[in-house]
């Protein structure tokens, strides 16, 4: 069987669709991208999770070899068709830039110490289906998870100028007949017509082309040595026997930072990771590690120490272990346990009682004009700050502070 791109044809109804509606529900900025991919890796962790962002630029012979391995002649007609469709302006611009500038940016996001893309090709609930096949559908591995590969996964394709993302995964528990690694690609396009007039419903997959009796064709995952060889060609290689997944954004672009130098993009990724994941990255806690790299350089680990923006919150977190009875002196930390009740839901789920911890640190003189003074960092088990709650102006003349609202399993950490 051949490895190629296979796109679903229009259904018998002839119904067409535009782009993925979920992308309009999320901010299209680099912070959202970093939060989504790191959160999912952290949720899938089976050991000490490590996430590495690697940005590479291909030109010349490297680019030609890569496009050949990507099966470019079978993908390009679909991209061109989607670029001609309503809303295809950005895709058309990306294709024109590739043609004129003859260079392509790749962003690989590699996680280690995670479960990998387990699951059957089409049956059951699985990480694989949620990320690589389903649309507008979320799968949660456990109740404490932030949601795995659900609506937020649309940011992966939003940040690909060519609307194309590749996946290479080492599974911690392969199923019957499965031998890691597992490789598949997905192009997330609107309904489109190729130049020959043939219409397709939208999405296409790179994999082993398989004919289904009475149901046309589909592309299925490439496995084992065949996947490993293709991963080498596509710059997706992983260390064998280290479970996890590498996601490659083909034609990476930040919609809010056009033409930004690669080093500036990596610096912005570092900043976003530290800003939203410091609770998970504190030494002695869960042990999330994030790193960035350019090309074939060795990764540099993101440090949360010495960052002015989050330093007061780290002091608040560390002071939580030995709090004061009251806020008397600058730097004092107090902890208050707050009971709450989550109301019953319309679908019949009963009301739930629980508690959250409010941790407040009185700002020293040097932090009174800190950019995030009088904010409350809210986080729970996975260790991602979901919100910096602005409480400026709460009371006239109140003393400046930094605070945390700690919920769920994070209270025991």
pLDDT of residue 214: 72
d(CA 62, CA 247): 20
The Cα–Cα gap between 400 and 248 comes to: 43
Sign of CA dihedral 225, 230, 232, 237: negative
The verdict on residue 162 lying in a domain is yes
Single residue among 255, 272, 301 that ends a domain in this structure: 301
Each residue's pLDDT tens digit, 308-353: 999 999 999 999 999 999 999 999 999 999 999 989 888 888 998 9
In a domain, 379, yes or no: yes
244 and 371 part of one domain: no
**286 and 338 share one domain:** no
Residue span of the structural domain in which 49 resides: 3-301
290 & 315 share domain:
no
Question: Do 232 and 136 belong together in one domain?
Answer: yes
228 shares a domain with 172 = yes
Is there a single domain that holds both residue 143 and residue 211? yes
Segment (H or E) for 228: helix 224-233
User: How far is residue 383's CA from residue 70's CA, in Å, rounded to a whole number?
Assistant: 36
pLDDT of res. 162 = 98
C-alpha 402, offset from chain centre: 28
**Which residues in the chain come in under a pLDDT of 50?**
22, 24-25, 142-143, 145-151
Phi, psi for residue 77 in degrees, rounded to 5: -60, -30
Residues 266 and 284 in one domain: yes
Looking at the structure, do residues 355 and 253 belong to the same domain, yes or no? no
Task: Identify the CA nearest to 67 among candidates 95, 38, 37.
Answer: 95
Listed residue (260, 267, 235, 261) closest to 249, CA to CA? 235
CB contact set of 178 (below 8 Å; sequence gap of 6+): 171, 223
Dist CA 40 CA 52 (whole Å): 13
Q: Is residue 366 part of a domain?
A: yes
Of 301, 329, 347, the residue at which a domain comes to its end is 301
Strand partners, 291: 52, 301
- Tell me, yes or no, whether 306 lies in a domain: no
Same domain, 161 and 211: yes
> Is 56 in the same domain as 127?
yes
Both 55 and 86 in one domain: the answer is: yes
CA distance 155 to 22: 9
Give the CATH number of the domain where residue 207 resides.
Answer: 3.30.565
- pLDDT tens by residue, 149-196: 444 678 999 999 999 999 999 999 999 999 999 999 999 999 999 999
Token representation of residue 66: 């890569």
Pairing type for strands 352-362 and 199-212 reads unpaired
For residue 7, being part of any structural domain is answered with yes
First to last CA, the chain: 50
Domain finish residue from 268, 283, 301 = 301
The number of distinct structural domains making up the chain is 2
Report the pLDDT value the prediction gives residue 396, as an integer from 0 to 100.
72
As a whole number of angstroms, the distance between CA 333 and CA 147 comes to 32
φ, ψ of residue 173 in degrees (nearest 5)? -135, 80
CB 280 within 8 A of CB 38: no
What 8-state DSSP symbol labels residue 123? S
Residue 150's pLDDT is what? 44
- Tell me the three-class secondary structure of 102-125, residue by residue: CEEEEEEEEEEEECCCCCCCCCCC
Residue 73 lies in a domain: yes
359 and 252 in a common domain: no
CA 223 to the chain's CA centroid: 23
């Amino acid at each position: 069987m051949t490895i190629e791109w296979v796109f679903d044809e229009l259904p018998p109804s002839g119904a067409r669709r535009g782009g993925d509606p979920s992308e309009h529900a999320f901010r299209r900025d680099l912070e959202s991208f970093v939060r989504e991919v790191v959160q999912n890796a952290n949720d899938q962790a089976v050991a000490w999770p490590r996430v590495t962002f690697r940005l590479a630029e291909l030109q010349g012979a490297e680019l030609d070899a890569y496009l050949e391995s990507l099966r470019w002649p079978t993908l390009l007609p679909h991209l061109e068709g989607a670029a001609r469709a309503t809303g295809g302006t950005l895709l058309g611009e990306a294709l024109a830039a590739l043609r004129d500038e003859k260079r392509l940016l790749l962003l690989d996001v590699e996680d280690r110490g995670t479960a990998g893309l387990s699951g059957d090709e089409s049956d059951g609930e699985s990480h694989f289906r949620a990320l690589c096949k389903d649309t507008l559908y979320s799968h949660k591995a456990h109740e404490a998870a932030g949601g795995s590969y659900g609506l937020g996964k649309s940011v992966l394709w939003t940040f690909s100028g060519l609307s194309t993302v590749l996946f290479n995964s080492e599974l911690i528990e392969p199923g019957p007949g499965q031998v890691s690694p597992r490789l598949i690609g997905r192009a997330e396009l609107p309904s489109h017509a190729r130049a020959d007039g043939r219409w397709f419903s939208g999405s296409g997959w790179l994999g082993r082309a398989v004919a289904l009796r009475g149901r046309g064709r589909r592309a299925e995952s490439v496995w084992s040595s065949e996947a490993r060889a293709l991963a080498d060609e596509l710059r997706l290689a992983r260390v064998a026997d280290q479970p996890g997944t590498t996601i490659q954004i083909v034609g990476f672009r930040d919609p809010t930072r056009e033409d930004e130098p690669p080093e500036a993009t990596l610096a912005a990724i570092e900043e976003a990771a530290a800003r939203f994941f410091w609770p998970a990255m504190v030494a002695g806690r869960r042990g999330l590690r994030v790193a960035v790299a350019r090309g074939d350089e060795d990764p540099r680990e993101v440090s949360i120490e010495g960052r002015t923006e989050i330093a007061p919150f780290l002091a608040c977190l560390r002071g939580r272990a030995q709090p004061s009875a009251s806020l008397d002196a600058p730097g004092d930390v107090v902890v208050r346990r707050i009971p709450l009740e989550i109301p019953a839901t319309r679908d019949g789920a009963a009301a739930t009682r629980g508690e959250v911890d409010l941790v407040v640190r009185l700002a020293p003189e040097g932090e009174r004009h800190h950019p995030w003074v009088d904010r409350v960092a809210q986080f729970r088990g996975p260790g991602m700050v979901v919100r910096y709650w602005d409480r400026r102006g709460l009371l006239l003349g109140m003393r400046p502070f930094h605070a945390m609202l700690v919920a769920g399993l994070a209270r025991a950490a």
